[in-house]
A and B are shown apart, each in its own frame.
Chain A
Amino acid sequence: MLELNGIVKGFSTNGGNVRTVLEELSLTVGAKESVAIVGRSGSGKSTLLKIISGMDNDFLGEYLFNKEEMRRKSSDKRARFRREKLGFITQRFDLLDDRNVYENIAIALSHLGLPKSEKKQKVAEILGYVGLHGYEKKFIGQLSGGEMQRVSIARAIIKKPALIIADEPTGSLDEETRDDILSLFKQMMEDGHQFIIVTHDKDVSKICDRILKLYRGTLINVS
């Protein structure tokens, strides 16, 4: 259960003015419900996801996750929320360039205190799901854009988080790979994981329960 009420978020411009990106935005997503968010480039979709992730705490309004006020939480508590409840697939992937694929994915499991063999097995399994079987030892710099995107997806879903937020998760993928990923997402939705997906792709938005459009700082229903 996620609830955003009257969210206002702006950025100061070079001229010293404040440009408002999100204006009185409200959103309620029920438990187990998945939504797709569409909107023009620069409309504030990524900004919204950053707020939901707790990475950005510099906004006005109210953000409740499972009835808990997120904005008042300490940065440590918000980090813990991301660690335990959230998988975040960002637009820029945000992979650790100085580590290999295995380390990038396994880091999402570090708080669980699993034995190494189990970690290895889990990473191998998830890599198989995203079509990167045997990529463990490769470094991020050696991957293509689509491969990086899939590593990012694998890292977000490996710990099976309650909420997965994805910013253009299929932007760099070909149709076939995209369909594999989508069926993976669908399976997870059926297993009770909640998704908030920002996308331009109609096929992606189709798998969600609701499609919302971010327009002039607020969300409007399109389906």
Chain B
Amino acid sequence: MFFKELWLAIRRNFTLNLLAACLVFFSLILMFVTFFYIDSNRIGSISAGDEVAEGAQMALLVQDRENSHVGDEVEGLRRMYELMTVAEEFDTLMFRSDKIELGSSFVRNPYLSAAYLFGDTEMVWELDTEIVVRAINFGFLEHFPLNVSQGRTFEERDFENYSGYIPIILGSQFMPFYEIGERLDGTFYNYPFQFEVIGFLEAGHSGPDFNWSPDDWFYSMDEIGFIPFINFSQDGRGSSPQWESFLSHYYFHLMQPWIRFEDTREALDISFNLIASLSDYVGMPMFFTETHPILIRNAVTRNTIAMNLEAITTFMVAAFLLISVVLYYFSKVKYLRKQGIYRSLSLLGVSKYKQVGLILLENAVFLVPTIILVLYYLIYWSNLIVSWSAISDLFDKWEVIDWVLFDPMVNMAFPILWQLMIVGLAFYVIQNIYPIWKILSVYRGGKSDA
């Protein structure tokens, strides 16, 4: 019965229906493509970030150099690092953004290079001699795995001993210009090293920046490299002033780790007490800067959406197109079904306002799911902000009154609510255009079918 009417509705205007069929096809393809785009490894790396944020607290450790009374600073830092790495009470995530200097040779990089645009990848030289790298430890890798599209990722041994070169994993942008196994000569903290390319990251891979404000926590790793934080204590190279200076820089910069522990008061106390006694023991005072999981969670969620926003928007537009076309036919069939009733009621002297009003009322049903969805999102967002007392704690502590509340709510929740509202309303309107237009033409007494 429904299909018979659908067929009737389709048969009436061939060109229009051909157009509609094309639209359906187009939007289906668009949805298909964007669906897989959204479902790419981006989500994978974001969810790793989620895991860190969920049920965990992070704190940044910084050495208090002024009050340091350790004789050999490098040795102190190194011992501190080793002790922290074996502690089970917390995880130590070391992350340092730096550069390696390639000296006389230029970085092979497609950016701003006209030659690359014309396909001549051999001739591309950019006037840049530095590669931005992130030095990480194994603890970091465990929480934020690096997905490689070629070669391999770091293994535990890469962090433990130095075998004459520093392995480097490059972002996907470098892929056309470098090869796996290629050795690059460069300096790191002014000390010459060889770097061996061991892998290339997947395109679009993103990772956390541990920025002080988690606002822009995630960034694209396409244009940077990763090197392991190697513990050079096993390295038997003799001491030279240059090497000592390197080690001092190296350990000083790298010993500013984030520690990650359970999101409870006890875990925080235990971890901080442990670090305090370790630093006492080593003679290397450290201070902590506590962050709050809400900030991280908000940042993670924000980034999940921000990174996929483009794809999600396209997906939504495509879905909306599809739904519009379907609803148009739905409303046509609906009219065909009720045509007799509309006409009979008009015959009996029911006014057009009443009939149109009845239709609107009937379709208010379509607004109800929309409202439920909107409510769902409201609740979802208010749940994200875990507890209001925690928020007010934060207000005092961080002075972020207009940050925590307004940023996620205003920037994200409300646009989504609006989108839902608009889509819901559009459902409602499109659904009714055809029947109402036809009913009005019945009352106009024009070319009605009767």
Contact A75 B344 (CB under 8 A): no
A96 interface neighbour in B344, B442, B446, Cβ under 8 Å = B344
A50-B450 contact given A76-B352, A79-B350, A97-B341, CB 8 Å threshold: yes
Contact B347 A97 (CB under 8 A): no
A96-B349 contact given A58-B444, A75-B445, CB 8 Å threshold: no
Q: Determine whether B351 belongs to the interface, using a CB cutoff of 8 Å to chain A.
A: yes
Cα separation A58 to B445 with both chains bound (whole Å) = 6
Chain A residues with Cβ under 8 A from B447's Cβ?
A: 11-12, 58
State which size class the interface on A falls in: 20 to 34
Q: Determine whether B340 belongs to the interface, using a CB cutoff of 8 Å to chain A.
A: yes
Q: Determine whether A210 belongs to the interface, using a CB cutoff of 8 Å to chain B.
A: no
What total of A-B pairs shows CB separation below 8 Å?
64
Contact A55 B346 (CB under 8 A): yes
Chain B residues with Cβ under 8 A from A58's Cβ?
A: 444-447
Chain A residues with Cβ under 8 A from B353's Cβ?
A: 76
Chain A residues with Cβ under 8 A from B345's Cβ?
A: 96, 107
How far does the Cβ of B450 sit from chain A's closest Cβ, in whole Å? 7
Per the 8 Å Cβ criterion, residues 342-388 of B in contact with A are: 343-353
Per the 8 Å Cβ criterion, residues 298-355 of B in contact with A are: 340-341, 343-353
Q: Determine whether B443 belongs to the interface, using a CB cutoff of 8 Å to chain A.
A: yes
Q: Mark A74-117, 1 if CB is under 8 A from B, else 0.
A: 01101111111010101000111110000000011001000000
Interface centre among A12, A54, A75, A95 (most CB of B within 10 A): A75
Residue of B nearest to A104 (CB): B344
Q: Determine whether A57 belongs to the interface, using a CB cutoff of 8 Å to chain B.
A: yes
State which size class the interface on B falls in: 20 to 34
A75-B443 contact given A88-B347, A108-B348, CB 8 Å threshold: yes
Cα separation A76 to B439 with both chains bound (whole Å) = 13
Cα separation A84 to B349 with both chains bound (whole Å) = 8
Contact B349 A55 (CB under 8 A): no
Q: Mark A42-61, 1 if CB is under 8 A from B, else 0.
A: 00000000100111111000
How far does the Cβ of A168 sit from chain B's closest Cβ, in whole Å? 15
How far does the Cβ of A140 sit from chain B's closest Cβ, in whole Å? 10
Contact A79 B443 (CB under 8 A): yes
Per the 8 Å Cβ criterion, residues 408-450 of B in contact with A are: 442-448, 450
B444 interface neighbour in A57, A80, A155, Cβ under 8 Å = A57
Contact A107 B348 (CB under 8 A): yes
Residue of B nearest to A71 (CB): B445
Contact A96 B341 (CB under 8 A): yes
Contact A75 B348 (CB under 8 A): no
Cα separation A202 to B8 with both chains bound (whole Å) = 40
A75-B352 contact given A57-B445, A58-B444, A96-B341, CB 8 Å threshold: yes
A56-B448, A58-B446, A75-B445 known, 11 other contacts, Cβ within 8 Å: A11-B447, A57-B444, A58-B444, A78-B443, A79-B350, A82-B349, A83-B349, A83-B350, A94-B340, A96-B345, A111-B349
